[in-house]
Structure 1
């Protein structure tokens, strides 16, 4: 089927008080696994390509984007393409021609005023191209290998009043909020601030997004969706599933040199994790 748009999937999720799972992809195996897992769950899904993934792909966006679109268009569930954690205007401007319907423009490293100004400029350009734009206020830690911020550090949590003003001042379509999760967590020990989430949900008129979801226990994810999160970003959980599977395969087959069997095992492991996570977010009642 034709590519879906992130905005449409989020609008439906928000209306249903549910959430869309959004998975970061790095290789073609990631793409195939996410779509296979979503099809097994019977649920729509967002494929996300981050700026760091583009750097890994030798700075070229189109090869992975074209491959993702080709697989997505053959899926039996709605699939949208999203460009994640974009910090450069050059990459932002490549999004429309590469098939993305949405971009997460990340100026959260800047002080509030700088974040607002940079994001407003990005939104003005992107909306002119028909792009849906997500931004971040506060700082979801753990990016680029940096440690997560202390819970009480300035900027470590999103302030509801600032969030309301930020959305009004920038015109963003969704807001990633800092409520206790962190990127690149390999343990599921993040404790979300659900009281803060409730206040953010009441203050902000656009869908809220949870980054760093791999480190959140299942119960925390369920509560986050109930509290107003409409998009749940997952990346590290897939990499952990793939890496563990490849390690097991190579340990059991030390003579192996053909990459297809162990990459295939890794792809299957990621697909199972995608289906499991979608089931957590939807309470096991998924449909496209």
Structure 2
């Protein structure tokens, strides 16, 4: 069943657990994520990033329609979220394509310009009924704005939320995007300080590189929306490599089906961790 992202996150925050948000690149991703969520009996958020839209020839409509259809047929609540959007043109397509939320990413700008751009995006988004997430501080694992070792300052976070009106804040507390190992160490004292400083849900990006115990502790300390992408692609790709080696069929279903199942299992396990089951 389709459910607004904001409602899924708010319910998780009330219950003191995390809300799992997983990156969608293909329809198989959406199917696997929802299958995994149904097995765990947990709500879930499907995220389509600006990079994924680029992969689909810059066209949001087809992959959004597929993800929305998968969400509507699910037996658990499923949100649809447009992630890491830098393009104002893409941001303005979100509501018309069925998204309940957008992560507007102005983190490459200076603090002043980030506030100005994000506040404008929040005004436009709220006028269309969108729940808007944004980012202050830099999350490691990418070049440019995403420098390793970056940390979000609690005082600056509090001011940023007040000035922009965002509904959720992605913070830098020690995770990194695109990690294929799970050895990131989070700054839990900083997580607690940020949770005390702001009155909106905190979001952890780069969660694939964070181990289960670290994730549970992070949720307990105040992180709510937990974004996971690379871990799904690792499971998916490893399964495809294995299947191609053991069978000679050229039918893509022969390797996509087990790959989808492996990804679903990874989602189920991740949701059990972040919901503290």
For the superposition of Structure 1 and Structure 2, which TM-score range results when normalised by the shorter chain? over 0.9
- Seen in structure 2, the aligned counterparts of structure 1 residues 150 and 49 have a Cα distance that, compared at 3 Å, is closer
Query: Number of residue pairs matched?
Result: 277
Alpha-carbon shift at residue 149 of structure 1 (Å): 2.4
Aligned to 1:244: 238
- Seen in structure 2, the aligned counterparts of structure 1 residues 183 and 80 have a Cα distance that, compared at 3 Å, is same
Contact 2:176 2:205 in 1 (8 A): yes
Aligned to 2:259: 266
Partner secondary structure for residue 84 of structure 2: strand
Matched, 1:180 2:174: yes
Q: What is the CA–CA distance in structure 1 between the aligned matches of 2:202 and 2:250, rounded to whole Å?
A: 45
Partner secondary structure for residue 172 of structure 1: coil
Partner secondary structure for residue 94 of structure 1: coil
Aligned to 1:116: 115
Q: What is the CA–CA distance in structure 1 between the aligned matches of 2:116 and 2:145, rounded to whole Å?
A: 27
Kindly provide the CA deviation profile for residues 115-143 of structure 1, in whole angstroms up to 9, marking residues without a partner as x.
Answer: 11110010011111110000000011223
**1:276 aligned to 252, 269, 273, which one?**
269
- Seen in structure 2, the aligned counterparts of structure 1 residues 251 and 146 have a Cα distance that, compared at 3 Å, is farther
Structure 2 unmatched runs, 5+ = none
TM-score, length of structure 2 as denominator length: 0.98
Alpha-carbon shift at residue 283 of structure 1 (Å): 2.5
Alpha-carbon shift at residue 13 of structure 1 (Å): 0.8
Kindly provide the CA deviation profile for residues 218-270 of structure 1, in whole angstroms up to 9, marking residues without a partner as x.
Answer: 111001100111100000000000000000001111x2211001011110000
Partner secondary structure for residue 108 of structure 2: coil
Partner secondary structure for residue 92 of structure 2: helix
Contact 2:139 2:148 in 1 (8 A): no
Alpha-carbon shift at residue 150 of structure 1 (Å): 3.6
Aligned to 2:147: 149
Aligned to 2:46: 47
Alpha-carbon shift at residue 148 of structure 1 (Å): 5.8
